Amino acid sequence: MYSHRTLEALCKEEDLVLRDLVKDFVDGQIMPVRQQIDDDTDHVLVRQLLEGLANLGFIRAIFPEKYGGLDLHSAVTLSLPLEEVARGDSGIAVALACCLWPFMPAVWSRNETVLDHFGPRFCGDELRIGCFNMTEPGGPAGGGGCDIENPGMHGRKIATRAVRDGDHWVLNGQKIWASNSGIADAYLMVCTTDPELGEEGVALIYVPGDAEGLSFGKFERKAGMAADRNTTTYMENVRVPLGFRVAGPGEDAKYFHANLTIGRLASAAISVGNAQGAFEAVLDFTGDRVVGRTPKPIRAHSIGAGMLADMAIGIETARSTYLSAAYRFDHPEDYGPIDSLDQLSFASIAKVYAADMAVTVSNRAMELMGSYGYVRDCDIEKYWRDCKIIQLWEGGAQLGRFDVLRAYYDLPL
């Protein structure tokens, strides 16, 4: 396989060792069963695969060593294996990433109360699943939806309320679309203590999966990403300790912005992995399939070779872009705080470009394979269905473009 020169330039040797470890797991465990994942309605196969990845250390990756974690915080280090998992199945990659994503703010803020409670559980022998809840249903007066993730709204459109009652927070509200919702052991809820306070009112609060007053709707039926479970989450007078808030007024908003940025980086890595998987499948097919007056493989014809070249260009440039943005995130001393608009802008460039690229690559792959690309046995249609949602989540394709521009001028949206 072609050696990715970008990796050699931006990654440490141990990053590549970790990537190769996951690659072996994907080739040996995910690829043979990936066509069964869409039919895994009871989530049994998905849990088995997540348990296998947990045994490699990924669920406990970001937790401090004193809890049994690996203390891995590098965006580059974590993105590479995520790309590999997505090459096998994007939904598995999302479910895995969202076990770590909700705990990033607790690690960044060094919240000992949260880490002491959840750390031993997530670093133990039993698989534990996390969920980060942002998006809310919109109402007649607007708000909800992508307004929650829009930094230009400064938290004023968040409807989920957190009210202090003695030594507890009491949460009321609804969340939708969150990955791993309905099956998670821990939830990080994006709330507000008062929407009129703007970012001072933003509160990130952890909720155990068995909390009283927490309930869920039915699982959504989607075109793809079957391994990524989504449902509506309801909170009715859910009580949690005061210490389960990430940091405090103003600080929670910063960690929320940083988590949006890391989400964009992960989305870009997953997109690249999805496109890489589709590219490898179509490369094999076009090497074996012979057509034309003078019979030769599809990829030996100039039109086929040109399409494959465009795919390779897109994948390699998207990989370079997300790794560069991840490197910037890992070096805030040189590129600005992790919650800055500059960091969000570069991560958004990576996500928007990679997500668009993955859709194009999977579509072109289907064109090269014809009807074979449209049937489940050949995998391409799954890559095609799975990658579309990456364009749409975390605020949508257009909010991502707005966020790119926030580093260049004041965009009041």
Q: Is residue 410 part of a domain?
A: no
Average pLDDT over residues 64-89: 96
Same domain, 232 and 263: no
pLDDT in tens, 241-287: 999 999 999 999 999 999 999 999 999 999 999 999 999 999 999 99
Same domain, 261 and 398: yes
Give the model's confidence band at 142: pLDDT under 50 very low, under 70 low, under 90 confident, else very high.
Answer: low
Which residue, 234, 249, 264, sits at the end of a domain? 249
**pLDDT attached to residue 6:** 58
Q: Is residue 216 part of a domain?
A: yes
CA–CA distances in Å: residue 234 to residues 41, 134, 211: 22, 13, 11
Q: Is residue 257 part of a domain?
A: yes
Whether the per-residue pLDDT at 3 is higher than 90: the answer is no
**pLDDT attached to residue 294:** 79
Nearest to 270 by CA among 344, 346, 355, 329: 355
Same domain, 287 and 242: no
Whether the per-residue pLDDT at 89 is higher than 90: the answer is yes
Q: Is residue 115 part of a domain?
A: yes
CATH number of the domain to which 349 belongs: 1.20.140.10
Same domain, 117 and 179: no
Whether the per-residue pLDDT at 64 is higher than 80: the answer is yes
Whether the per-residue pLDDT at 1 is higher than 50: the answer is no
**pLDDT attached to residue 281:** 96
Give the model's confidence band at 397: pLDDT under 50 very low, under 70 low, under 90 confident, else very high.
Answer: confident
For the chain, what is the domain count? 3
Same domain, 264 and 243: no
pLDDT in tens, 155-207: 999 999 999 999 999 999 999 999 999 999 999 999 999 999 999 999 999 99
Give the largest CA-CA distance in the chain: 81
Which residue, 230, 249, 268, sits at the end of a domain? 249
CATH number of the domain to which 35 belongs: 1.10.540.10
Same domain, 203 and 115: no
Same domain, 45 and 188: no
Q: Is residue 297 part of a domain?
A: yes
CATH number of the domain to which 212 belongs: 2.40.110.10
Whether the per-residue pLDDT at 130 is higher than 70: the answer is yes
Is 143 exposed, middle or buried (CB count within 10 Å of its CB: 0-12, 13-18, 19+)?
middle
Strands 186-192 and 290-291 come out as unpaired
Range from 13-17, 158-162, 329-333, 348-352 carrying the lowest mean pLDDT: 13-17
Same domain, 230 and 353: no
pLDDT in tens, 228-238: 999 999 999 99
Average pLDDT over residues 114-125: 97
Give the model's confidence band at 290: pLDDT under 50 very low, under 70 low, under 90 confident, else very high.
Answer: confident
Token pair, residue 367, equals 């064109």
Q: Residue 45 in contact with residue 36, Cβ under 8 Å?
A: yes
Same domain, 265 and 399: yes
Give the model's confidence band at 295: pLDDT under 50 very low, under 70 low, under 90 confident, else very high.
Answer: confident
Give the model's confidence band at 307: pLDDT under 50 very low, under 70 low, under 90 confident, else very high.
Answer: very high
Whether the per-residue pLDDT at 60 is higher than 70: the answer is yes
Average pLDDT, rounded, for the chain: 94
Same domain, 272 and 333: yes
Handedness of CA 365, 270, 52, 3 (dihedral sign): positive
Same domain, 65 and 19: yes
Q: Is residue 413 part of a domain?
A: no
**pLDDT attached to residue 83:** 97
**pLDDT attached to residue 144:** 76
Same domain, 256 and 399: yes
Average pLDDT over residues 41-52: 96
**pLDDT attached to residue 2:** 44
Q: Residue 253 in contact with residue 151, Cβ under 8 Å?
A: no
CA–CA distances in Å: residue 403 to residues 250, 286, 323, 350: 20, 39, 19, 11
First to last CA, the chain: 44
Alpha-carbon span 41 to 220, nearest angstrom: 11
Give me the domain span that covers residue 230.
Answer: 130-249
Quote the percentage of the chain above a pLDDT of 90: 87
Token pair, residue 400, equals 């991502």
Q: Is residue 234 part of a domain?
A: yes
Which residue, 97, 122, 147, sits at the end of a domain? 122
Q: Is residue 261 part of a domain?
A: yes
